[in-house]
Structure formats: C-alpha cells, structure tokens
Amino acid sequence: MNILKGNIEKLTISGSLTLIGINVNNIGMSAIVIDTPKTAPYLKTGNTITVVFKETEVIICKGNTDKISLRNKFEGVIETLESNELLSKLKIKTTVGNISSIITTNAVKQLNLEVGTEVTAMIKTNEIMISE
C-alpha cells in the first residue's frame, strides 16, 4: 500500500459524493469518496488526512502525459526495480514521496524501465482512499 499524508484544500459536493482536493507536499491530488461532510465530519478544509492507494492501481508512463485524463500524475525516478516472471515492483521517488507500483514484467520490458529511468506515476481519482 502507498500511504501519504496531506491536507484537505477543497471540497466539491454533489449528492452523496465529494471530490476532495488534497495538498501533499505542496502538490495537488484529488480523490472522490461516497461521503459528505454531513456523513464524515473529518471532511473539512484544512484537516490533515491519510491518502492510501494500492500499488496495483499505480499506472506508469514514460514521456508526455498531457493528453491523459488522469488527474493524479507525479513525475519521478525509479529507485528500485524487482522483477519476477510475471510481475515487477517499482519504487519511484516523486515530489509527493515514494510511490510503489506493481506492473507486469512485460510492461517493464516494453517501456525499457530500469533504475534511474524518469517516469510518471499516475493514479485514478476514484482509486484513492482517505482516512482521518
């Protein structure tokens, strides 16, 4: 699991959903939850929260990401790369902190990934969980 600390900067509420703007190390992130400040009182601007997402939900890209709809994009450098027959685990040093990703070993080969490669780690807004 990837675990980061951040502060709530903005809340946009629509019905029972809340889009949360989060500041993590001065970098913006977003998450969407099935909760509102009425059902989850910790959803208040300025509150510190924990941001959690699975390693398998981190998408890796090399090159330009301007025309991708993902909102959570963090540039970084691969610090460690452990490959097995089917899956590989990458640890990426980014501006929001270290992020781990598990992708297929075939993808690692296709992208020519190795320690020191510059990549962008991306996480869909709906794949991020938050807690107090």
Q: Which CATH number covers residue 53? A: 2.40.50.100
CA distances, 15 to each of 8, 64, 88, 115, 128 (Å): 19, 35, 40, 45, 19
Distant-in-sequence, close-in-space partners of 105: CB < 8 Å, separation ≥ 6? 83, 84, 85, 86, 87, 88
Distant-in-sequence, close-in-space partners of 66: CB < 8 Å, separation ≥ 6? none
Task: Provide the pLDDT confidence category of residue 84 given band limits of 50, 70 and 90.
Answer: very high
Q: Which domain holds residue 63?
A: 2-131
Number of domains in the chain: 1
Q: What is the pTM of this model?
A: 0.91
For residue 29, the cross-strand partners are 22
CA distance 92 to 94: 6
Give Rg (Cα) of the chain: 16
Task: Provide the pLDDT confidence category of residue 63 given band limits of 50, 70 and 90.
Answer: confident
